[in-house]
Amino acid sequence: MRIAVAHLYPAYLNIYADRGNIAVLARRAARRGHELDVRAVGIGDALRPGDHDLVYIGGGQDREQALVAPDLAARSEEVAEAVAGGAALLAVCGGYQLLGRGYRDRYGGTLPGAGLFPHETVAGGRRMIGDVLLECELEPGERRTIAGFENHAGRTQLDPGATPLGRVVAGFGNDGESGYEGCRVGRAIGTYLHGPLLPRNPWLADWLLAQALAHATGGEPPQLEPLDDELEAVAHAVSAQRARARGGR
Amino acid sequence: MGARLAAETLAARAAAGLSRLAGRGGGTTVPGKLLWKVDPGAIDALASRLPLGSALVSATNGKTTTAAMAARILGGRARLAWNSAGANLVSGVATALLAARDAELGLFEVDEAALPEVARRVRPHALCLGNLFRDQLDRYGELEHVADGWRDAVSGLDDDAVVILNGDDPLVADLGRAHGRTVLFGLDDPRWARPALQHAADSKYCLRCGRPYAYAAAYVGHLGDYRCPACGHGRPPLDVAARGLELDGLNGAAFELVTPAGSTRIRLPLPGLYNVYNAVAAAALAQQLGAELDEIRAGLAGFSAAFGRFERIPASDRTILVLLVKNPAGANEIVRTLERSAPKTLLLALNDATADGKDVSWIWDVDLEPLLDGAETVIVSGERAAELGLRCLYGGLDRGSLVVEPDLERALDRGLVLVPPGGELPVLPTYTAMLALRAVVASRGLVAPYWERRR
């Protein structure tokens, strides 16, 4: 099966090895006989809802984020429609911020957001940097952990009732206070965690692939054939241990 | 020297000896840290006593090599206070000032983030800024933040200080805009340009208007001959340039050094375009400090690598080739240099201590694939060996070609047995992995500890 992926602004938002996430998705899809067809969507390029089974947006430095923010904000309807139509989405760090309602920097400037995720982000004084460990339950009854690295000045406040991606076991998370990290809307996930995220959390890569396949087929997310993830498990364990050693929030 | 400063420096020098006796490494920063604690102003006073003043070198990549090249060129001219062991924070500069008692000229490589403070204290006559690449974002923050610190450092210089800048780096070239005396250096040989900007390229959007730069030539990462098609902001005219480049694989490079004082053909025993950048930077700096073209040519021709940077260490009938990697731009150049010799066995070592960067995501931004394609065995080692292994596997390496051995000594031995007698094992370690590997080979008597290395 062909899985159509829109990679938003890869020339601008690629700071934390976002292509590692794409490489993991591509290879894990290929191992199950599917083909990941990744198309770059740059400033001014068309993004038609329904055309893509998975949307990916990564992180950038402040300057690059400011350059793409207006273009992304102008696409809020297309992004919302794609996700409402069952497309999967992964937004990391800066992309996660820009898919909220907006970002306010320390000097009073604001970047508009696309409004997919019910949150707002305000820059804080001290950057929140280090390894993070989350506990989450994307499917009822299936408890999993996510290990990653965060590096952000923004404090992201979820609206009351919004669904976070997970609970922070160690690290800062959305704002360093709430005890939650990331946000989920349908098949869309936003998170501050890079590292990159997917190589050491292969179950999450498979979850996204299954959601994307569900969109592609119009059916339910399929059970993907398990792979040998021994090295992935070691990388996860080392990263999780780093987060635990760093301690609580 | 005042009585108080004299007593402090004596105590601090004694501390370095004690640190070495205690087996705690080279004591390369212990005395400086002590002095800094006792009297922060003492560094300023020591620096101000140097009759020929001081020069500072900073860059994301190449500062150790550039400073070592300049030291080699200038060493015959003046007695140097030089932090050759790579200790490049304020404490390391202080230690070098303490150690070189009758030095005439200070020559210091300085950590990017430490530059504003070191420049404020040392008040250099010359400041050489090489490049800015994304590096250890967990420690330095974003690129623009480092550039802001550098801008402050330049604006705080004395008016007659000279600033030597890489004109090929948009962000660095711009730092001299408000300063009177600047020298811009760069490369001028489009035959050696990359066909396209690399994945990890930074600073690729116009500083003035934000549009992507068009590159007539991109040499290393975003370094090259850039111009904004929208507003016209582009590379300034170069004062010192390398033309007519020849790259001879792993053996070295040669180029025509063109300066306001004339031209000369340089033969460099180090490979790669990145070392040409280092050499041109060192030449431009040395020239500002009085070196003649002959001295520059001889100094660069006789240069041997700074430790861990393209260092060849004999291991009985084989050779270990140590190539420090620390960020995507630097690692990409190492890959580009190694690629042509297509090594069959390769050792990659990734640690995540503070000096390596705790965030290891950068390995995914390195274009490792050309090396993976040709390798029969890739050994990954260090504290984050598994992460590095995943990088290789998801980059297309067969599982059967990957050896995961977190222990550095065992990894080194696994690699050496796979290399035929007379052959060379390329080892690409991060900073603390490089120090650990050198400690392993030092314990076997193959190489002197770094603090005893001859200058």
Q: Residue B243 in contact with residue B189, Cβ under 8 Å?
A: yes
| Opening angle at CA B206, ends B220 and A38, nearest 5 | 70
Instruction: Note whether A199 contacts B: Cβ–Cβ < 8 A.
Output: yes
Interface residues on B facing A, Cβ-Cβ cutoff 8 A: 134, 137-138, 141-144, 199, 204-205, 210, 212, 352, 358-365, 383-384, 386-387, 389-391, 393-395, 404
Residue numbers in A near B141 (CB within 8 A): 127
CA–CA separation, B240 and B164 (whole Å): 10
Amino acid identity of residue B335, one-letter, is V
Which candidate, B200, B28, B29, B232, places its Cα nearest to that of B131?
B200
Res B6 pLDDT > 80: no
* Residue B223 bridge partners (DSSP): B220
Pick the CATH number of B3-301 from 3.40.1190.10, 3.40.250.10, 3.30.360.10, 3.40.190.10: 3.40.1190.10
Place of tokens 């690699």: B415
- Which pairing describes strands A119-139 and A102-104: parallel, antiparallel, or unpaired? parallel
Looking at CA atoms only, how far is residue A73 from chain B in angstroms?
18
- Tokens, residue B356: 């390596």
Residue numbers in A near B393 (CB within 8 A): 231
Residue B306 C-alpha from the chain's centroid: 9
pLDDT, tens only, B320-365: 999 999 888 889 989 988 988 899 999 999 999 988 999 999 999 9
Closest-CA residue of A relative to B386 is A235
Residue numbers in A near B138 (CB within 8 A): 129-130, 149, 151
CB atoms within 10 A of CB A192: 29
Q: CB under 8 Å to B159, separation ≥6 — which residues?
A: B180, B181
- Tokens, residue A44: 């001014």
Q: Which of A58-62, B24-28, B235-239 has maximum average pLDDT? A: B235-239
Specify whether A215 is catalytic.
no
- CB-CB under 8 Å, A64 with B361: no
Q: Left, alpha or beta for B315 (phi > 0: left; psi -120 to 50: alpha)?
A: beta
Looking at CA atoms only, how far is residue B443 from chain A in angstroms?
29
Provide the ipTM: 0.96
pLDDT for residue B454 = 41
Instruction: Note whether A143 contacts B: Cβ–Cβ < 8 A.
Output: no
Which candidate, B172, B167, B186, places its Cα nearest to that of B133?
B172
Which candidate, B320, B238, B304, B223, places its Cα nearest to that of B271?
B304
Residue A213 C-alpha from the chain's centroid: 18
Handedness of CA A167, A173, A176, A178 (dihedral sign): negative
Confidence of residue A52 (pLDDT cuts 50, 70, 90): very high
Alpha carbon separation from B429 to A1, B307, B388, B412 (Å, rounded): 40, 12, 11, 11
In chain A, count H helices and then E strands. Answer: 6, 12
| Domain range summary for chain B, segments of one domain joined by + | 3-301, 309-452
**Which domains are assigned to chain A?**
2-246 (3.40.50.880)
pLDDT for residue B100 = 83
Residue B286 C-alpha from the chain's centroid: 17
- CB-CB under 8 Å, A62 with B144: yes
pLDDT for residue B349 = 98
Average pLDDT of span B37-49? 81
How confident is the prediction for chain B on average, in pLDDT?
89
Closest-CA residue of B relative to A22 is B394
Res A23 pLDDT > 80: yes
Hey, is A71 helix, strand or coil? helix
pLDDT, tens only, B124-180: 999 999 999 888 776 666 788 899 999 999 999 999 999 999 999 999 999 999 999
How many residues does the structure list for chain A? 249
CA–CA separation, A91 and A98 (whole Å): 9
- Half-sphere exposure for B225 (CA within 13 Å, toward CB): 15
Which residue is catalytic, options A52, A194, A215, A236?
A194
Average pLDDT of span A228-232? 97
CA–CA separation, A179 and A173 (whole Å): 7
Backbone angles phi, psi at A28, to 5 degrees: -70, -30
Res A140 pLDDT > 90: yes
CA–CA separation, B297 and B333 (whole Å): 24
User: pLDDT higher for B43 or B55?
Assistant: B55
To 10 degrees, the CA torsion angle through A50, A52, A54, A60?
-110
Which candidate, B367, B208, B396, B455, places its Cα nearest to that of A23?
B396
Burial A106-127 (b: 16+ CB within 10 A, else e): eeeeebebbbbbbbbbbbeeeb
Q: Residue B131 in contact with residue B257, Cβ under 8 Å?
A: no
- Tokens, residue A52: 């893509």
Lowest mean pLDDT across A22-26, A237-241, B5-9, B41-45? B5-9
Amino acid identity of residue B189, one-letter, is D
Q: Left, alpha or beta for B411 (phi > 0: left; psi -120 to 50: alpha)?
A: alpha
- Tokens, residue B118: 């070191």
Residue B190 C-alpha from the chain's centroid: 24
CA–CA separation, B362 and B388 (whole Å): 11
- CB-CB under 8 Å, B365 with A19: yes
Place of tokens 């992460």: B387
Topology given in CATH for the domain delimited by B309-452 = Protein-Tyrosine Phosphatase; Chain A (3.90.190)
Alpha carbon separation from B180 to A47, A156, B161, B328, B395 (Å, rounded): 49, 44, 9, 34, 48
Instruction: Note whether A84 contacts B: Cβ–Cβ < 8 A.
Output: no
pLDDT, tens only, B169-212: 999 999 999 999 999 999 999 898 887 777 667 778 898 998 88
pLDDT for residue A109 = 87
Place of tokens 């000279």: B162
Specify whether A194 is catalytic.
yes
Q: Residue B179 in contact with residue B157, Cβ under 8 Å?
A: yes
* Residue A36 bridge partners (DSSP): A3
Q: Which of B134, B144, B386 sits opposite A63 (nearest CB)?
A: B144
CB atoms within 10 A of CB B455: 9
Percent of chain A with pLDDT strictly greater than 70: 99
pLDDT for residue B262 = 96
Res A97 pLDDT > 90: yes
pLDDT for residue B450 = 53
Handedness of CA A49, A51, A55, A60 (dihedral sign): negative
pLDDT, tens only, A165-183: 999 999 999 999 999 999 9
CA–CA separation, A72 and A156 (whole Å): 18
Amino acid identity of residue A62, one-letter, is D
Q: Which of A27, A130, A196 sits opposite B364 (nearest CB)?
A: A196
Confidence of residue B219 (pLDDT cuts 50, 70, 90): very high
Percent of chain B with pLDDT strictly greater than 70: 87
Confidence of residue B122 (pLDDT cuts 50, 70, 90): very high
- CB-CB under 8 Å, B137 with A15: yes
CA–CA separation, B25 and B451 (whole Å): 8
Q: Residue A231 in contact with residue B404, Cβ under 8 Å?
A: yes
CA–CA separation, A70 and A81 (whole Å): 18
User: Which three-class secondary structure string do you get for chain B?
Assistant: CCHHHHHHHHHHHHHHHHHHHCCCCCCCCHHHHHHHHHCCHHHHHHHHCCCCCEEEEECCCCHHHHHHHHHHHHCCCCCEEECCCCCCCHHHHHHHHHHCCCCCEEEEECCCCCHHHHHHHHCCCEEEECCCCCCCHHHHCCHHHHHHHHHHHHHCCCCCCEEEEECCCHHHHHHHCCCCCEEEEEECCHHHCECCCCCCCCCCECCCCCCECEEEEEEECCEEEEECCCCCCECCCCCEEEEEEEEECCCEEEEEEEECCEEEEEEECCCCHHHHHHHHHHHHHHHHCCCCHHHHHHHHHCCCCCCCEEEEEEECCEEEEEECCCCHHHHHHHHHHHHCCCCCEEEEECCCCCCCCCCCHHHHHCCCHHHHHHCCEEEEECCCHHHHHHHHHHCCCCHHHEEECCCHHHHHHHHHHHCCCCCEEEEEECHHHHHHHHHHHHHCCCCCCHHHCCC
Res B248 pLDDT > 90: no
Confidence of residue B436 (pLDDT cuts 50, 70, 90): very high
pLDDT for residue B18 = 46
Residue numbers in A near B204 (CB within 8 A): 11
pLDDT, tens only, B379-407: 999 999 999 999 999 999 999 999 999 99
Res B370 pLDDT > 90: yes
User: pLDDT higher for B333 or B412?
Assistant: B412
Res A83 pLDDT > 70: yes
- CB-CB under 8 Å, B362 with A17: yes
Looking at CA atoms only, how far is residue B302 from chain A in angstroms?
39
- CB-CB under 8 Å, A19 with B359: no
Closest-CA residue of B relative to A11 is B199
